[in-house]
Structure 1
Amino acid sequence: MAREKVRKSLEDMFGVRVVRDATTLLPERRPFTFSAVKDGKAIALAGYVPSVAARERIISTARQAGFIVSGGDQLVRARGAPPGDFAALVNFSLKQLEQLPSGRITIADHALSIEGRAPDLKIYDELAEVLRGALPYGLTLARFAVRPPVASPFLWSASREGNTLRLSGYVPSEAARADVKAILDEAMPGLDVRDDTHLADGAPSTDLWLKAVRFAADLLSQARQLQVSIADSGISVEGIAATFDMFDVLSRVRRNSPEGFQVARFAVQPPRAVPFVWKLQRLPDSVQMSGYAPSEETRRLLSDALRSAFPGVPIRDEMRLASGGPSSEMWAAAANFAVAQLARLRSGRAEARGARLILSGEALDSAAFSSLTTALEHSPAGLTVENEVNPPRISPYVFSARRDKNGITLSGFYPTQKAHDYLRQILMRGFPEEAVTDVSAIGAGAPEGFQSAVEAGLRQLERLQRGDLSLTDLQLRLSGLAFTTAAADHIRAVLEKSVKPPFNIDVELSVVPEGAPVDGPECQAGLSEVMAHGTILFDTGSASIDAASQATLDRLVYILQRCANMRIEVAGHTDSQGFSRSNQRLSETRAQAVVDVLEAAGVSASHLEAVGYGATQPVVSNETEEGRAKNRRIEFLVKEAQTP
């Protein structure tokens, strides 16, 4: 039609007689297409243009944008272009393509399609906003196939605070976004969901990913303060459980991870326990854990420690996780310490309240009790330990003390460390120069009155040249060699008076054979030897002889009975304290008291002479208490032989 109009106008011009038409029509293309493929700085053009001018404008604009253009000279002129400025339409489309590292645009009539991958979310969002809005030059968007950037890790996170749920991170598609909303609405209807997620590539399979979202929704529906994050194939859960039941539910749910995913981090804070207590109990057939632990890790480590300490013994774990206790490090140190002590018990328990640990029960044996007692001196820093562990129960309850040429040997058991220390003090006073071999051990089950019965026996063992003292439950037995018959009788009488029922007394004593008579020097040497290793003690300020002196007196009697036909002076001495007259009288009465005891034991009174010297013959200075103590003494002096 236009061609005919032009030809008609030319024929009607003045002077034109003949018009010969040698023009041809451009081919018409339906649809009228144009495409551009971008790869970095290179762009390849193809398709149709309505004119040479349009082609030149398109190529020029592309080059000005910095592209290396190919295919421009192969653009085909054709009819059928959409009305308007086709070059402007193409240049607008190329401007959008320019933002992609690589991609493609296709124009078919008025319809624009674009594909490629955005370098970042900002460009993706800008392209989506421009191309999905009102387009210039009559363009319509036929296909938006620009892919979002790859997110690594591909993170999706949902954080719940009461009735509000905030979403962040990425979703793989708009369809997936809609599916996420539907899942959350179903699990938590009525919740205010605020979605700040962006589209991104890099997600696992969408079907599997949505299963992970459903798993997250199940967790979020259980607690009002919780955050669940999905990063690639890992899931993390953190928050606060208001109740133990809620915490248990969350713990159970998290053990059922969806296909292709696993819970890499579970940091849900359990409820607060007040008071924060935990207990380990050794039962006849098992070991039980109960109370609270600060974390799953500490609880697992405790269980492992118990299995190592009690191989083959079933471990019953009734512990729950809770907050509000000591630090995990402090808790673990206390628990490991408790396990080590529990292994030393036949039965018992370790119970902790905060930083206070109470140990109770019965020790396996005396060695275990001793080890436990020593360990308590090195308990973990910051831990207060109360020891209520009893020694092992011994039956029959035995204790023994033997005196021979090698010294004193203790064996058997004692009920408390205090009792043991007390008996050792008696030995130190009664046998000051003798070696003590102590193989006794602590043990429960001692009869009532154990300490006083053994003390009475040890005091009489002091009087024997050698002997054995043994206690078996309520039977106290003393055997050995006494120095004289009178001493043996006196020992038996003292024991029967000192040790009361329900104890039974068994005394079996022999007497040291009488030695040959001695002369004066030998007698003096024997008496001096006895007094060098013993002493005669008096009550303060009086002439009453202390019972602790009896062992020395027995030995004196044994020597004096061999000193026949000799006059022996028994001399009393005092220190310088007090008046000289009173000192003189005290020294005389003390010397006479010793003579009376010796006479009663069988020494002839005609051989003994009591003499008092007061403070006139000190052996050391009276300036110190130690010196005065040495000056308060009894001396035996062989004066001369008597005529038979």
Structure 2
Amino acid sequence: MRLPLTLVVALTFVLAAALCGVAASFAVTAMEENSEIAVRRALDLNGHDWAEVEADGLQVKLTGMAPDEATRFNALSVVGGEVDPSRVIDRMQIRPSAGLAPPHFSIEILRNDSGISVIGLVPAKMDRQALIASLGRLAQNENVTDLLETASYPVPEGWNDALGFGVKALDMLPRSKISVSAGRVTVKAISDSGADKKRLEDALTRAAPPSIRIGLDIAAPRPVITPFTLRFLIDEEGARFDACTAETATSRARILAAAKSAGAKGSPGCIIGMGVPSPRWARAAELSIGAVAQLGAGSVTIADADITLIAAEGTDQALFDRVVGELQTELPDVFALHAVLPVPEKTTTAGPPEFTATLSPEGQVQLRGRLGSEDMRYMVDSFAKAAFGSASVYTATRIVPELPADWPLRVMAGIEALATLKNGALVVTPDNLRLRGTSHDEEAAASIARHLAEKLGESQSFELDIAYEEPPQTEDAAPDPDLCEAQLVEIQKAEKINFEPGSATIMASSAGIMDRIAELLQNCGPLRLEIQGHTDSQGREEMNKQLSQARAQSVLNELRARRVLTSTYSAVGYGESQPIADNETEEGREANRRIEFHLIRPELLDEETTALEEIEATSTDSATDADADSGAVGASEAAGEDQ
């Protein structure tokens, strides 16, 4: 039976539609797979393995957790390079960011004659008004410029201690820059003198809480030296300086190198100061020292731009003329040379005129020898009594006419120089002035040489033999901190602080050593001291650290019980991290179980820093330009080992 034509046409269309549907289905599936594979490969090649890809017909769906917005955008760009961006459905999410880390809180406090300025970032919960009020009291009603910013974060550990010490340091230092951050304080300042610098460093070191690290950069201003003096001589005792001054460290190095080439031994001192008469001072000094070395003996004195070269008696005339001629030619223009070759004096039966003055350690002075007139004797006696005290001077001089015209000047200059010594003797002759003695001032010889060069003038010879003697310690002066630390080590060498096994309890047998340590620390006065606890390696590391901390704290508590002032002490446990012996042996483990006492020392920064020069010049009007950098100061940390 033949099917109707209409049915055949209908069936043909149905079959064609089915075939098209199947073909379309296969085409869509192939397109989805190809798109997904291409996008997946591109994402993997660009490091986006966190992204998931799903193809749905012509659409490409992206899911996953992107680390940040920039990474998500980059993934979209990669996919857009493989398929039409209109086909991309973005369902990617961004991982929530972690809480922002607190900022670095720090402040800079600048103090000078114009007032105090403070700049930096501080916690909002800090008592800012109390800080400004404290600075206002220090400024004594001068201007206090507040340029602080705040941030709403908790106050970091160590911030309050550091800020309190910073204000205390500012109170001691009228010209300074204090940098404060959590647990650290950096001090840059200018002192009035070298002695004042040392006093301030000691005071700041003792005042600092043990919980903070400090860095000190206190500079003493260079002294103004007048006249700017250098005196170098070679005699039977060898080559040496009586006085040496230089304008810079480079100039000093050149002068000392010339002295060593001329035969000077050891490490002679040379003061760096202001007042140099010429930038070519070092060159003049080198040439002058070299001239004395060529002569083999003699002295050279440079006072400002005047140079006096005195050869030793008996120096060959031809050698003297040659050396002086060469020196005169090579000296810089500003310097004037006066050269002397002494002529041997003829012997007389009367002997040469002489004046002597002696100063005993008890302060008694005796004046003997020749003076030109009664008026001269009265003047010398009065001058000596003014210098040493009326009851301390005994005068036994005699009147001799026809003394040298400059005799009174030489005698008075010598007595004035003798008055600066602890004890000594002065001898004045027509051709020389000799002064020897001891002084508590390390720079006494240089000061006296400058004084005599200024008073006596050119062509005048003088000899100095000044020995330095350390001033006696006052009865109430605390021992040197380094000495106290060394004595603590010695005490523990003789006996050890022992604890009950596995416990922080100090054994009764160690009461004696604790008493001796407490007595020593009471005599030492305030120290920044770290009491360190150490253990052997037996047991768990964390337990050992806890045990060492507890033992160090027990020692600190025992010292407090013995009335030792421990406000500047800290107790720190290091556990097994710092062994001093082999933990594989019983003897080594016993040695490692210990308590140690260590000074917490500040780091002294470079004295030549140029930042200090800004302290003098900066006013509060320029505070907004102040450098907020706290300075890279590696404060000293407690060295560790003692238990």
TM over 0.5: no
What TM-score results when the alignment is normalised by the length of structure 1? 0.31
Q: Larger RCO: Structure 1 or Structure 2 (Cα < 8 Å, ≥ 6 residues apart)?
A: 2
Indicate the structure with greater strand content: 1
